[in-house]
């Protein structure tokens, strides 16, 4: 529901309850909230004192809105509560899709009951757990000219679900958006810089509904990097009149082609640096997403991984798991069930969602789930078998994982091997130690690796893990 319709519904309810309708400053605050602006940004943009909005207008507005919706409204939950309330007013027979407040139950019926967790969560999913501080930081950054945002997390940690919301936010700002996933690129293209840059430019042009026109800008004498830069500057950015958000997902796949990475990654950095001298490059907002740290050596001034806004998605906290359990209709208020589940899978988002889904179906108890979790009969069998298939295809990963399982001192794995294991989410670093990500993996691989992989010594050295640029 758009903001104009929502404002009409709120005004009607205020008038019916014999209160005055929204005034101009209250509407300005609501418009700012819909644009993810701070009070300072709203006030300065409209010529008001920031303190007037913060200390005078906002408190009275939230008090009035709280009486309308019947729940305490704050800046943080304002949009969610008003949209849910407006949906109920527009269609009283439907249930709200969003959680009204942290700590209140989510209504689940045949329309909102959870689907089997697989892949990203749609924009309207009530089972998406907002990472408010991270999202707010990204939304503010993406409005800045020439912004570069780096999101890092292992697979299945919620990167794609977050990306959907960032792109949706950019579209609501009327920005142009292009999203490219390097998993869709042929390996032959990824291993050749010229082919890869042409693939990049062609796909961006298609998503912007422009003719590629590569041959008009590509010059073999100048080289592919300058040709690509000229194409961006003189064609793509020149033709659009709004900011462009370019998302490069699974950028870590380029790490597997070091020669290409050593040219492409500094190219991204150079585009970021161009924003300081050439205004046209300020239209570009780069959003790069990768599953683990870079292991390709780069000079400090060439790396795009030490500039811009760094964002790292971590595991769910105990409080977040408890909140999510409530959205699945589970009464875990005492926290004991949360502690038991997290003792097995940590706060791994995909594993948590899968467990809560099965428990919400009432076909298995928590004790049964935990007992069978690391076995072929458990709910994680497909997840574990998928990891096992990868290990069978790449025995060097299996041997490295076995080393981590049985290590008696700190080890430093081969950077490429470590990167692959971490991108799979199997290992993590804690106090300079390489450890298994959760108890589920320890039990499953402890029982299987030693029985099924041939012994081949794997090179490792004691000491701290390698850093990355």
Q: How far apart are CA 25 and CA 23, in angstroms?
A: 6
Average pLDDT, the chain: 85
**pLDDT over 80 (residue 103):** no
pTM, rounded to two decimals: 0.71
Write out pLDDT tens, residues 262-274: 999 999 999 999 9
- Cβ atoms of 178 and 204 closer than 8 Å: yes
Q: Out of 3.40.50.720, 3.40.640.10, 3.40.50.1000, 3.40.50.300, which CATH number does the structure's domain 132-312 have? A: 3.40.50.300
Measured at the CA of 458, the angle between CA 454 and CA 464, to 5 degrees, comes to 145
pLDDT digits (tens, 9 = 90+) for 301-342: 788 888 999 999 999 999 999 999 999 999 998 899 999 999
Determine phi and psi for 289, rounding to 5 degrees.
-125, 130
Radius of gyration of the chain (CA): 25
Contact 12, 63 (CB under 8 A): no
Q: What phi, psi does 435 have (nearest 5°)?
A: -135, 165
Do 163 and 229 touch, CB atoms closer than 8 A? Answer: no
Answer yes or no: is pLDDT of 407 > 90: no
When pLDDT is averaged across residues 233-242 and rounded to a whole number, the result is 96
> What is the pLDDT at residue 450?
61
pLDDT in tens, 337-375: 999 999 999 999 999 999 999 999 999 999 999 999 999
Under the banding of pLDDT at 50, 70 and 90, the label for residue 119 is confident
Q: Give whole-number Cα distances, 163 to 178, 221, 286, 311, 315, in Å.
A: 12, 38, 13, 12, 17
CB half-sphere exposure, 52, CA atoms < 13 A: 11
Q: Are 296 and 255 in contact (CB under 8 A)?
A: yes
Residue 22: per-residue pLDDT? 87
* Residue 194 burial class via C-beta count within 10 angstroms: exposed 0-12, middle 13-18, buried 19 and up: middle
Task: Please give the pLDDT value at position 459.
Answer: 41
How far apart are alpha carbons 23 and 11 in whole angstroms? Answer: 10
pLDDT at 468: 39
Compute the distance between CA of residue 241 and CA of residue 331 in angstroms, rounded to an integer: 51
Residue 132 CB partners (closer than 8 Å, separation 6+): 76
pLDDT digits (tens, 9 = 90+) for 412-442: 788 888 888 988 889 988 766 788 999 999 9
DSSP 167: H
Residue 180, helix vs strand vs coil: strand
Whether 53 shows a pLDDT value over 80: the answer reads yes
Q: What was the pLDDT predicted at 193?
A: 98
Q: In terms of Cα–Cα distance, which of 283, 353, 327, 336 is closest to 142?
A: 283
Three-class DSSP category at 265: helix
- Per domain, the residue ranges of the chain are 3-90, 132-312, 383-462
> DSSP label at 183?
G
């Amino acid at each position: 529901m758009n903001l104009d319709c929502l404002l009409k519904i709120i005004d009607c309810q205020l008038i019916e309850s014999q209160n005055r309708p929204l005034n101009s400053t209250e509407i300005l605050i609501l418009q700012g909230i819909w644009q993810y602006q701070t009070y300072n940004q709203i006030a300065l943009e409209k010529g008001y004192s920031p303190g007037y909005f913060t200390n005078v207008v906002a408190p009275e507005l939230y008090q009035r809105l709280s009486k309308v919706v019947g729940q305490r409204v704050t800046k943080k939950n304002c949009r969610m509560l008003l949209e849910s309330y407006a949906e109920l007013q527009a269609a009283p027979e439907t249930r709200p899709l969003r959680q009204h407040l942290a700590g209140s139950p989510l209504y689940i019926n045949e329309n909102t009951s959870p689907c089997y967790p697989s892949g990203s969560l749609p924009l309207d999913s009530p089972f998406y757990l907002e990472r408010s501080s991270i999202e707010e930081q990204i939304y503010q950054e993406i409005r800045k000219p020439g912004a570069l945002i780096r999101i890092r997390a292992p697979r299945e940690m919620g990167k794609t679900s977050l990306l959907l919301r960032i792109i949706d936010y950019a579209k609501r700002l009327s920005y142009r958006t292009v999203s490219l996933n390097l998993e869709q690129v042929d390996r032959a293209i990824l291993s050749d810089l010229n082919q890869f840059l042409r693939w990049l430019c062609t796909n961006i042009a298609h998503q912007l509904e422009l003719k590629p026109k590569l041959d008009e800008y590509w010059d073999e004498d100048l080289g592919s990097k300058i040709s690509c830069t000229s194409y961006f500057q003189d064609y793509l950015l020149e033709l659009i009149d709004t900011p462009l958000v370019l998302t490069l997902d699974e950028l870590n796949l380029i790490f597997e082609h070091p020669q290409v990475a050593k040219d492409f990654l500094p190219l991204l950095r150079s585009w970021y640096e161009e924003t300081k001298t050439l205004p046209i490059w300020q239209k570009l907002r780069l959003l790069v997403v990768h599953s683990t740290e870079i292991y390709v050596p780069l000079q400090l001034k060439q790396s795009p991984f030490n500039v811009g806004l760094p964002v790292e998605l971590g595991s769910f906290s105990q409080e977040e798991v408890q909140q999510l359990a409530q959205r699945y209709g589970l009464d875990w208020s005492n926290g004991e069930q949360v502690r038991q589940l997290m003792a097995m899978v940590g706060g791994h988002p995909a594993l948590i969602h899968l467990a809560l889904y099965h428990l919400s179906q009432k076909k298995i108890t928590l004790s049964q789930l935990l007992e069978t979790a690391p076995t072929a009969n458990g709910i994680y069998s497909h997840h574990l078998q998928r990891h096992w298939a990868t290990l069978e295809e790449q025995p060097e990963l299996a041997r490295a994982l076995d080393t981590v399982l049985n290590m008696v001192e700190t080890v430093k794995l081969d950077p490429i091997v470590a990167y692959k294991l971490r991108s799979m989410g199997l290992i993590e670093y804690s106090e300079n130690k390489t450890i298994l990500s959760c108890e589920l993996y320890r039990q499953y691989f402890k029982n299987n690796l030693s029985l099924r992989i041939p012994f081949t010594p794997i090179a490792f050295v004691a000491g701290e893990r390698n850093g990355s640029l």
